[in-house]
Amino acid sequence: DKPVLFMACPLFAQAHALLSAHFTLRHTTENTLAGTLASLSAMADVEALLVTLAMPLDSQAIVRLPRSVKAICTYSVGTNHLDLAAAKKRGIKVLYTPNVLSESCADAALLLMLGASRRALEGLRLLKGGEWSGWAPDQLLGKDVWNQRLGIFGMGRIGQAIARRARGFDMEIHYHNRLRLPPAAEQKAIYHDSLAALAAHSDYFCIACPPTPETLGLVDAALLARLPEGAVVVNISRGDIVNDNALIAALNDGHVAAAGLDVYAGEPEIHPAYRQMDNVFGLPHLGSATLATRLRMAALLRDGLSSILAGKAAANVAN
């Protein structure tokens, strides 16, 4: 008999097919956390559950899980929506999806940089709205990306994949990270030991750090003030790293020329100003959203979970 995997959040048919080869998938028709926990509590045979960013589990939710649960799989690289310590206390391993999505997220970061700097949203609107009256010398003049300084906050796998792409644009790479990288990984990127020093060298400032309690609100008015005049801010990590009101003020007064955002504090609600502003090039949290990557994420969880349930180690355990 295959172990029972409770899908607290449904994925999609191809991903389910990857998982159902190894596990009996149990679905729920509940779409609230309370309803899901209630139906789970009536099941004594569930060995693992799968969640997404859309289903945060705090310590109160985790203590209510049935005793049979040995693992929580999150279909994400970020684990900030789960109380890892509470899970550990109950002997529940949390599996996540590092590495397999880094390249897709880096592609998306470049899209945000280019879209924001070259005013792609305004251009698209002009074109699709049937309002384009022809080429004009000063139409939608943006900012160059090539040959500019790119500051990367968070030089993990995603940050390094962004740097690799940006070198193709002849950008000068600067970064801040908790630890300086060894030279072979640094590839001549310029290290700054503080976020403020990085900001001062960032024509493009790209947030690619893992979300932790320490990064909450770090990109605030004081930090934004350190950016060179007319900088572009890109966020591919989590919305709550940025103070929205501070960024909106900087976008309104032009100190920050544009922002490329994939993530938002309180998403899917977003600050209403972001919807109105022409200089915000925004996507609805699509960083890892390619079919190939989303299938790799499912396969990684499948393999990790099989190992764990067989009493073996897995590399993608977060707690």
Active site residues: 238, 267, 285
156 binds ligand GLV (CB under 6 A): no
Residues near 114 by beta carbon (within 8 Å), at least 6 away in sequence:
120, 145
Cα separation values, 207 from 13, 215, 238, 291, Å: 32, 10, 9, 24
235 binds ligand GLV (CB under 6 A): no
215 binds ligand GLV (CB under 6 A): no
231 or 301: CB nearest ligand GLV: 301
Tell the smallest beta-carbon distance from residue 233 to ligand GLV (Å).
18
50 or 101: CB nearest ligand GLV: 101
Contact characters 83-122, ligand GLV, x per CB under 6 A: ------------------x---------------------
> SS in 3 state form for 19-72?
HHCCCEEEECCCCCHHHHHHHHHCCCCEEEEEECCCCCECHHHHHCCCCCCCEE
HSE toward the beta carbon, residue 265, CA cutoff 13 A: 15
86 or 100: CB nearest ligand GLV: 100
Q: List the interface residues with ligand GLV, window 288-317 (CB under 6 A).
A: 288
Q: Which of 76, 148, 160, 215 binds ligand GLV (CB under 6 A)?
A: 76
Separation CA 260–CA 283 (nearest Å): 8
Q: Which of 11, 15, 77, 108 binds ligand GLV (CB under 6 A)?
A: 77
Separation CA 319–CA 308 (nearest Å): 13
Phi, psi (rounded to 5 degrees) for 120: -65, -35
Contact segment (CB under 6 A) with ligand GLV among 72-80, 167-175, 222-230, 244-252 equals 72-80
The residues binding ligand GLV (CB under 6 A) are 76-78, 101, 287-288
